[in-house]
Copies of this chain bind each other. A is one copy, B any other.
Amino acid sequence: TVSLAEKLKSGSPVVTGWSMLAVPILAELMGRGGYEAVTVDFQHGAHDIASAREALAAMVLAGTYRLARIPVGDNATASRLLDLGAQAVIAPMINSVEEAKAFAAATKYPPLGERSWGPHRAAMLDGLPLEAYLEKANRETVSLAMIETPQAVAALDAILAVPGIDGVFVGPSDLSLTLSAGADMDRDGEKTTQAIRTIADHARAAGKIAGIFCMSPEKVMEARDAGYTLMAYGADMGLFHAAASTARKACTV
């Protein structure tokens, strides 16, 4: 089977569901419903180590790729999530080369980084001996830096050039908010749209992965056309709320 890293680097599209409610069975059901990947969200979602541990195992059960997003600056948790079986980690608010380096240090083993040894659960979920895990880890573990501020856009090429950073991931909400200095949340505005295109172009030019959070299936397709290979769409809270609303409304009594 193809690793997530290979798949993303080869240009094949990956759509990931978004696990916010910290409920492992929902991560599993996203996989069973057709998602090829699920992301546990520690930044704006309610996940903690316990729910992430179970959700990552549930993804193995469902046969999906396993991603996780950490809270701002919490690189120690990036290491922990890899140890628990995440195949990719997304770090929010990477605004400088220094922040990108610190993130890469936590997610890659020496000599590339400083990740500390202890991936027993991850190797078990992969069905690999520890040596095999070590051999493949730096190659197959995906570290994605979020680009979601003007500072980050300005530093984009330098961030993309950091060894151990495998790609970038765009947060359109924060990007539109910071590009307008907090004035409005206009994800479809010209500045944001332009930045989103630029980011994909530069990532591709650098031979790295481009990912993005999408608010609709249309945006997923748009992003794909723009050169993104990793598209997030569908958070469990929103999906279920909408499904419940639709179901009740369909009963016109």
Is residue A73 contacting chain B, with contact meaning CB distance below 8 A?
Answer: yes
The answer to whether A244 and B35 have CB atoms under 8 Å apart is yes
Contacts A23-B25, A233-B247 known; A220 to B253 CB distance under 8 Å?
yes
Taking CB atoms, residues of chain B closer than 8 Å to A42 are: 80
Taking CB atoms, residues of chain B closer than 8 Å to A84 are: 46
* Nearest B residue to A108, CB-CB: B182
Is residue A236 contacting chain B, with contact meaning CB distance below 8 A?
Answer: yes
Other-chain contact of A253, B15, B178, B236 (Cβ < 8 Å)? B15
The answer to whether B109 and A182 have CB atoms under 8 Å apart is yes
Binds B, one of A2-10, A26-34, A189-197, A201-209: A26-34
Taking CB atoms, residues of chain B closer than 8 Å to A51 are: 50
How many residues of chain A get a CB closer than 8 Å to chain B's CBs? 95
Other-chain contact of A30, B13, B61, B244 (Cβ < 8 Å)? B244
Taking CB atoms, residues of chain B closer than 8 Å to A161 are: none
> In whole angstroms, how far apart are the Cα atoms of A49 and B111 in the complex?
32
Taking CB atoms, residues of chain B closer than 8 Å to A29 are: 237, 240-241, 244
* Nearest B residue to A77, CB-CB: B71
Contact digits for A173-198, partner B, Cβ 8 Å, 1 yes 0 no: 11001100110010000000000000
The answer to whether A43 and B116 have CB atoms under 8 Å apart is yes
Taking CB atoms, residues of chain B closer than 8 Å to A110 are: 177-178, 181-182
Is residue A199 contacting chain B, with contact meaning CB distance below 8 A?
Answer: no
Taking CB atoms, residues of chain B closer than 8 Å to A26 are: 23, 240
Contacts A34-B245, A245-B34 known; A15 to B120 CB distance under 8 Å?
no
> In whole angstroms, how far apart are the Cα atoms of A231 and B247 in the complex?
13
Is residue A121 contacting chain B, with contact meaning CB distance below 8 A?
Answer: yes
The answer to whether B248 and A240 have CB atoms under 8 Å apart is no
The answer to whether B220 and A33 have CB atoms under 8 Å apart is no
Contacts A46-B49, A61-B60, A71-B80 known; A251 to B217 CB distance under 8 Å?
yes
Other-chain contact of A251, B48, B117, B231 (Cβ < 8 Å)? B231
